[in-house]
Amino acid sequence: MNEGTGAVNGGVNDVNGTARHRSRIHELDRDIARLIRLRTDEDRRLQDARRAAGHPRTDLAWENSVLRGYLEALGPDGAQLALLLLGLARRTPPGAAAEQEEGTEERTRQRTGGRTRQRTEERTAERTKEHTSR
């Protein structure tokens, strides 16, 4: 450790607040994921309402306005983010989104004996360990 700068192995120790910043980023990431789930659910309900009214599931003019809003707010990467968000709501057919997801997860678990979820959890734990050890 370099006593003068507080550097540890080329990084910065907690004297400069890295743990606090990482904690806050993790908190923000959890909030973002929660908001994305809420947005996806609401978009699916919108699609259901459009279909019930006899309209197409999607409204391309509205989706383009969403893309423009993200582009204006965040630049080209914002447009990519908007495409991802719009795509999330399309991946599960409107209607029984939650029930279908639960059924799909259960069928996958039965087919793989739970190995897929276990591997995913192991990889997530490895990545978390890598990031926290940096």
* Per-residue pLDDT, 68: 97
Contact 44, 55 (CB under 8 A): no
The strand pair at 7-8 and 11-12 is best described as antiparallel
Q: Give the residue with greater pLDDT, 34 vs 116.
A: 34
- Find how far residue 86's CA is from the centre of its chain: 12
pLDDT tens readout for residues 77-114: 999 999 999 999 988 655 544 444 445 555 555 655 55
pTM: 0.57
- pLDDT of 26 > 70? The answer is yes
Residues 95 and 57: beta-carbon distance below 8 Å = no
Residue type at 12 in one-letter notation: V
In tens, the pLDDT along 55-75 reads 999 999 999 999 999 999 999
Q: Could you identify the residue written with the tokens 């739970």? A: 114
Q: Six-digit token pair at 25? A: 């980023």
